[in-house]
Structure 1
Amino acid sequence: MSKAYHNLTAHYNAYFIAQDQLRQAEITLYKNRKENYNQILPVLLPVDSITNEPVKPFLDEAIKKASLVAERHQNSKWLDDAYIVIGKARLLKQDLPNAIEVFKYVNTKGTNEDDKHTALVNLMRAYVEAGDYNNGLNVAEYLRVQPLSKDNTRDYYLTKAYLHQRKGEPAVAAAILDATFPLLKKEESTARLHLIAGQLYDLAGQTAKAYEHYADVLRNRPAYEQEFYANIYLIQGSGGKNRLGQSFEQMLSDRKNADLKDKVYYTMGLLEARRGRYDEAISLYRQSVAATTTNTAQVPYTYLEMGKLYFEKKGDFVNAQMYYDSALALLPQQSADYASIQTRKKSLDEYVSYRNTIRTEDSLQQLARLSPEALTQALNKAMQEQDKRDAQQAELARQVIEKATGTPTVAGVSQPGATNSNLSPNDRWYLYNPVRITQGLQDFTSTWGNRPLEDDWRRSNKDASRAMAAENSPVNGGTPANEINPNAPLPTRADALNAAAGNPTVGGTAVGSRANGVGSRLEAMKAQLPLTPAALAQSNGRIENALYRLGKLYKFQFNQPTDAISTFEQLLTRYPNTLQKPEVYYLLSVSNDQLGRTSTWKDKLLAEFPNTSYARLAGKIAAGNGAAVSSGAEAQAQKLYADVYYLYQTGNLTEGLARAETALNQFAGSQIEDKFALLRAMLIGRVQGTEPYRQALADFIRDYPASTLIPHVKELQTAADQATAKRK
């Protein structure tokens, strides 16, 4: 009777309620999931503490009720089941260490084999969520030979497929899913898994199998979005129509797809890109962005594909930079390729910066070479063109506002009661454009963080800043900003417009005539020109640095050796005495070798700069292509190193440095080459001073990244930097 009481009470007063709470949490999570069809869907919904926050009360209640079984009914047959509920709830709460301990406990102390297998399947899931794939595979290997129940077999296959998907093995994950489908019913969750299997086979390059699974989605009672994307993939895979004869054009005309047209255009663009028709693909991508309504999730992936086409296929790095910038502003930071996109975007930002520097400085130098009369005429013409462009932009803004609101504007301000019309996103007013709102919010958050709506939100001491602003305001006798008072009122929009028109004002009050305004603008533009020898030297220095860094970008970041060669050759032509000449010679030699061309750059490097690290690097490459350093040569190198080190100790520094330079060239590729390089750096410090010493240490780290001496060299760098800072 006692055992029957505990079984009955544990079942219906604790376990049954706990299991129901856990099931409610799982159902809620599945219904509220947000699928990103631009990426491969996860086989199992990933555990995320933020996403799972709404179901936390269910999980807490499940743990509370299931714990009653362990506290009051330890002799009941529901004890193992209660512990499994506790483990699952902790898993969903992302309390992975405790979840793992619970599942291990059930496997060790459990009395029912099916319950122990269930615990092990969930233990494998916990290891996957923790990123411990090795332990997950060990558990999977053990379960593989166990006689599992039908439910445990299904969960085992799904968890193992999820494990291999997370490991980046799409073909294995898809094959395991294939073994799972006979155990599943025809329902929405099964349709979702068929869609995932199709995506995985697509990624693995097995398009025929992918096509079959996309067709199976339609046979398993899919949700509308699942059906839509399955049809999209079927049309994309067949090159124009799916099995039902449906085409992209029919999907676009279907009223049910009004909010999904952006995805249709995007997929059409992908198909055109695969066919090599890049301009048509870009046009379709633009249509995709224009078709965006309230759901902007597709936009960053469309921008990303446009950026890839401009970067990889068209070599248009300026447009690529713009689209990568827009994509990164809207892309979720948890995206798998976010870091790589951010790296490429940074390189493109540098490219645009260097390119603009070269063009700007060239234009300024060209203007500086004009006669005074011709210069004044050219600057006046530039100001007139700028005023014309500003007027055109203002008129365009007025037209867009009128078109968007349906009401005329007065002085650029629309009348009350304006409503938005059915415009493309590019023509909508900012606050009616969901794409621009989302991008602006992302930009603001990335710079300033999540901040409340309040005055003076950028100031750390708001009360003090407000008091200072009030004290210096015109009402309290304050004066406009000058060298003494920096807290003057900000210029109004009218001030900005008047200044652009050549009539500067403060607070709407004119402070000069238009003639004076034009004259001040003219003088301001002349001040930017390199009219003096010193200014010209600075301008040339900026161009030289931009060409040098642009060439390195082409070589190392963009893998464009042809562009790198032309850029470096331009650098040497314009600035034959550049301090970067040894490195440029070396990079020109390497770039030509990469293209299979013969060149004389290596010979020039060895002839003109035989004692530089780049000459030694070139010699080391040549030695690496030939025979290894013989044992006799190694012995000679050891002896010479001892001789040079003796010269260093006895103060014969100049002779020691000369012999170290010779040894580095003579014994390139030897086992003690890095020791020679470090000894040379120390000799340079004693002979030539701090700055050459710091450069030699930096060269060592670049040329010998695998050397065991690197930690010591970094310590020497730190000491040299600190000594330099103290002197300053």
Structure 2
Amino acid sequence: MKHIKKILFIAIAFGAIYSCSTKKDTVISRNFHAMTAYFNILFNGEEAFKQGIKGINEGYKDDWFKQLPIEPIEFDERKIVVPSFKSSGMGAGFGDSNKEEETKSAGTPFEKAEEKAVKAIQKHGMNIDGLERNRQIDDAYLLLGKSRYYSQRFIPAIEAFNYVIANYPDANLIAETKIWRAKSNIRLDNEEFAIESMKLLMVVKDTLEPDFPDEIKEQAYTTLAMAYVKADSIQKVKRYLQLATRTQANRDQAARNLFILGQIYAQENKKDSATMVFNRLTEFKKAPYKYKIHANIELARNANNDSISNSLLARMQKLIKNRDNRPYLDELYYQVATLHENNDSLKLATEYYNKSLRALNGGDKQKTFTYENLGNLYFKNSEYQLASSYYDSVLNVSQDSLDLRIRRVKRKYKNLASLIKFEDIVERHDSIVRIASLSKIEQETYFQNYIDNLKVKDEEAAQLKLNQLAFGGSFGGGSLQSAKKGKWYFYNQQTLAFGKTEFQRIWGNRKLEDNWRYSEKASNTISKTDSVATVTKDTRYDLASYLEKIPTEQQVIDSLKVDRNQALYELGIIYKEQFKNRNLAIMRLERVSTLQPRKDLLLPINWHLYQTYTDAGETDKALKYKNTILTDYPDTVFAQLIKNPEKKFEENVKVNEVEKSYKELYYLYKKGEYKNVLIAINDILPTIASSKLKPKFELLKAYAIGKYLPKEIYKEALEFVAINYGNSEEGKKAKEILEQLNK
């Protein structure tokens, strides 16, 4: 009996095993392989896939200053390769390399998910008579394609999706598969095919939608929006984002779609529509917090009137007080600052811009915007040196030198560079000349006061340092004495020893005497280099070292005055021509006119002051400089311009014709026909009064004069170009030639 039971058990076992063969189409076999494929393999693959998606969402860093990509992932197009496929009847890129793919160790979660999908297909596929009998295999192929998509292997992914579409046309996941195939084609720049396939999927009759779950509709419309982004059709992007955001089945993608839709409206200056979308996002309870907080920031950025701006200020202040918003303080402070700036509360704006810069964990890109806005504020207020320092900070912080905004800031900074240089020269030389003019006793008094103030500042800094060492810089738990609260510093041996060591490290061994902190107490220090002792002396408190640097020779002092006067003149031209700041231009030019400048500067100073006052409508003041030019320089070109001002001609010559004329005249100049060149330029100049090429003609005219007329006439022609077009390349070239001629 026992033998019979044993034989019967073995027979049943063999029968069960045989009935579960992948080549046997039985109910037991189908259910066995379906259950085993899912619970033993596919479940782990799907979990790995979810882990990969989570990693993308958490690791992707959005640039909130630009329009967000619809899908939060970046692919490197250089890694897209076309693989070779060998036909084995299984499709989806399976061939003779199956064993290699099966044994390959998975690195990323997506590679692990792909490995599990391949394993499920290979071990539990039931392709019998051309039909797949295992209902889990289409899920495995979909997982395989999605994993390959995120591994940036789009062509193998499309192979997997096509296999599902061809072999499982009635599967419940066929719509999702078509969506993923469309996304893969978008990544391969086949957006037209993606759009066509999505429209076939989503339109049943005319404009009717198929009866898909909300999640599938969201995916489909989001994919269409992605395709139209690639096709540069913003109106279609808006349309499909609107359709995608009707429901919110996928909270991450729904929040992202809403934010992008709001950004598009804002870029189109449709502030009301943008405000409506961002408000909708702030009320989306399940949306990830990063989208909600930035939606509030965008609401403030799109404020279009004072009443709304006041309510938004209150909202922003409430967000700032929320401790959960600490990672976003730099952005919140910045936005509050811009609201105050728009309301002309410049003091408050500056205060909040500085708070944004001091916020912990502030982003570099946010800092570039803050520095730039501060620079613009000071620039508008004519504080060009401060503006230059903030523009410099933008360039130091920025990581993207190719960005158009950064390049614009760089141009501003370069334009200010010469101005800052000349302002520094004026300030430094004024100071030296003023001190040099003092008596010996006044000089000693001046520098002694400076040294005394320096000592006070050093003493305060030293005391602050000692306080920080003694109390750990704070009264919190980070200080050394925190373990023994309530006890005096000198009763704590640990903190006392630490403070003594730090004191000796910073100050060395000091005698117990008054004013021990002064640096002169340690003025003589010995350092050994290659066994040779050298003595260094700190001269910061040494009165004699300051006095010996004061120039005493009149030739040196005169040279400083000449350089200062030249800098003042250059500043006047820069403020007049480049920054259109009449007040500062007049201040610099009028000041240099009272400082006995070089003779060659007198005429251009009077000419520029005459022009500036005339443009400002102050004819009485302009008359003074006009009379000076007519009286003292009657034979100059500038006097002739005053007597017979040029008529305003409408420019009736096209730019290309002007360029052609210049080339012809330059060719004549090269041939040596200088007189003909001069005659032709005199004829053409009245007809190109507003042309950008006029400085080129004037300089060529000066060159022609220099070839056959006296040197004095040549210099006058060059001076005309240098004075009237000082900021152009031609004006700078004329200045260089004049400097060579005057040597």
Q: What TM-score comes out, normalization by structure 2 length? A: 0.57
**1:283 maps to what in 2?**
351
CA gap 1:35/1:513 in 2 versus in 1, 3 angstroms = closer
Alpha-carbon distance in structure 2 between the residues aligned to 1:634 and 1:36: 44
TM-fit CA distance, 1:361: 1.1
**1:219 maps to what in 2?**
284
CA gap 1:378/1:202 in 2 versus in 1, 3 angstroms = same
Find the partner of 1:665 among 682, 685, 701: 682
Task: Choose 1 or 2 for highest CA Rg.
Answer: 2
Q: Does 1:267 align with 2:286?
A: no
Amino acid at match of 2:261: A
**2:262 maps to what in 1?**
198
**1:501 maps to what in 2?**
520
**1:625 maps to what in 2?**
650
CA gap 1:513/1:252 in 2 versus in 1, 3 angstroms = closer
Alpha-carbon distance in structure 2 between the residues aligned to 1:170 and 1:402: 63
Contact persistence 2:425–2:564 (CA under 8 A): yes
Amino acid at match of 1:337: R
**2:272 maps to what in 1?**
208
CA gap 1:566/1:627 in 2 versus in 1, 3 angstroms = farther
Alpha-carbon distance in structure 1 between the residues aligned to 2:142 and 2:455: 77
Q: Does 1:156 align with 2:227?
A: no
CA gap 1:282/1:642 in 2 versus in 1, 3 angstroms = closer
Q: Does 1:384 align with 2:449?
A: no
Alpha-carbon distance in structure 2 between the residues aligned to 1:102 and 1:553: 63
Partner of 1:405: helix, strand, or coil? coil
Partner of 2:74: helix, strand, or coil? coil
CA gap 1:407/1:21 in 2 versus in 1, 3 angstroms = closer
Contact persistence 1:17–1:65 (CA under 8 A): yes
Alpha-carbon distance in structure 2 between the residues aligned to 1:642 and 1:254: 73
1:36-67 residue CA offsets vs partner (Å, 9 max, x unmatched): 556654433251669x9xx9734566788899
**1:371 maps to what in 2?**
439
Alpha-carbon distance in structure 2 between the residues aligned to 1:512 and 1:199: 62
**1:181 maps to what in 2?**
245
Q: Does 1:43 align with 2:70?
A: yes
Matches within 5 A, 1:68-467: 85=146, 88-89=149-150, 91=152, 119=181, 121-125=183-187, 148=202, 150=217, 153-160=220-227, 162-163=229-230, 174=238, 176-182=240-246, 184-185=248-249, 187-217=251-281, 218-231=283-296, 237=303, 238-241=308-311, 247-257=315-325, 260-289=328-357, 292-294=359-361, 300=367, 303-304=370-371, 307-308=374-375, 310-311=377-378, 313-333=380-400, 337-348=405-416, 351-399=419-467, 405-406=473-474
Partner of 1:525: helix, strand, or coil? coil
Alpha-carbon distance in structure 2 between the residues aligned to 1:622 and 1:250: 63
CA gap 1:352/1:42 in 2 versus in 1, 3 angstroms = farther
1:47-106 residue CA offsets vs partner (Å, 9 max, x unmatched): 1669x9xx9734566788899999999999989979965873464xxxxxx869997999
Pairwise CA RMSD: 6.5
1:512-542 residue CA offsets vs partner (Å, 9 max, x unmatched): 999997354134432xx47431453255325
Q: Does 1:552 align with 2:574?
A: yes
Find the partner of 1:533 among 555, 558, 570: 555
Alpha-carbon distance in structure 2 between the residues aligned to 1:590 and 1:157: 61
Contact persistence 1:565–1:591 (CA under 8 A): yes
Contact persistence 2:48–2:113 (CA under 8 A): yes
Contact persistence 1:645–1:679 (CA under 8 A): no
| Further displaced range: 327-336 or 637-646 | 637-646
Alpha-carbon distance in structure 2 between the residues aligned to 1:676 and 1:294: 56
Partner of 2:60: helix, strand, or coil? coil
Alpha-carbon distance in structure 2 between the residues aligned to 1:298 and 1:285: 14
Matches within 5 A, 1:533-612: 533-534=555-556, 536-538=558-560, 540-541=562-563, 544-545=566-567, 547-548=569-570, 551-552=573-574, 555-556=577-578, 558=579, 560=581, 562-564=583-585, 566-567=587-588, 570=591, 574=595, 577=598, 610=637
**2:207 maps to what in 1?**
none
Amino acid at match of 1:666: D
TM-fit CA distance, 1:30: 1.0
**1:31 maps to what in 2?**
58
Partner of 2:542: helix, strand, or coil? helix
TM-fit CA distance, 1:589: 8.7
CA gap 1:626/1:516 in 2 versus in 1, 3 angstroms = closer
Percent identity, aligned pairs only, is 13
Amino acid at match of 1:625: E
CA gap 1:156/1:328 in 2 versus in 1, 3 angstroms = same
Alpha-carbon distance in structure 1 between the residues aligned to 2:649 and 2:182: 53
Q: What TM-score comes out, normalization by structure 1 length? A: 0.58
Alpha-carbon distance in structure 1 between the residues aligned to 2:660 and 2:404: 52
Alpha-carbon distance in structure 1 between the residues aligned to 2:538 and 2:667: 78
Alpha-carbon distance in structure 2 between the residues aligned to 1:99 and 1:681: 65
Alpha-carbon distance in structure 2 between the residues aligned to 1:550 and 1:140: 62
Partner of 2:245: helix, strand, or coil? helix
Alpha-carbon distance in structure 1 between the residues aligned to 2:357 and 2:576: 30
CA gap 1:279/1:407 in 2 versus in 1, 3 angstroms = closer
CA gap 1:517/1:208 in 2 versus in 1, 3 angstroms = closer
TM-fit CA distance, 1:364: 0.9
Alpha-carbon distance in structure 2 between the residues aligned to 1:100 and 1:686: 74
Alpha-carbon distance in structure 1 between the residues aligned to 2:144 and 2:614: 65
Amino acid at match of 1:540: V
Alpha-carbon distance in structure 1 between the residues aligned to 2:196 and 2:552: 76
TM-fit CA distance, 1:362: 0.9
Amino acid at match of 1:222: A
TM-fit CA distance, 1:590: 8.5
1:334-369 residue CA offsets vs partner (Å, 9 max, x unmatched): 877333334434545554443222111111111222
TM-fit CA distance, 1:307: 0.8
**2:496 maps to what in 1?**
none
Alpha-carbon distance in structure 2 between the residues aligned to 1:281 and 1:158: 38
Contact persistence 2:262–2:273 (CA under 8 A): yes
Amino acid at match of 2:265: Y
Amino acid at match of 1:359: E
Contact persistence 2:221–2:244 (CA under 8 A): yes
TM-fit CA distance, 1:384: 3.0
**1:411 maps to what in 2?**
none
Alpha-carbon distance in structure 2 between the residues aligned to 1:206 and 1:627: 41
Partner of 1:666: helix, strand, or coil? helix
CA gap 1:682/1:248 in 2 versus in 1, 3 angstroms = closer
1:254-286 residue CA offsets vs partner (Å, 9 max, x unmatched): 444455555544433332222111112223334
Partner of 1:507: helix, strand, or coil? strand
1:625-650 residue CA offsets vs partner (Å, 9 max, x unmatched): 35549xxx99999999898666x3xx
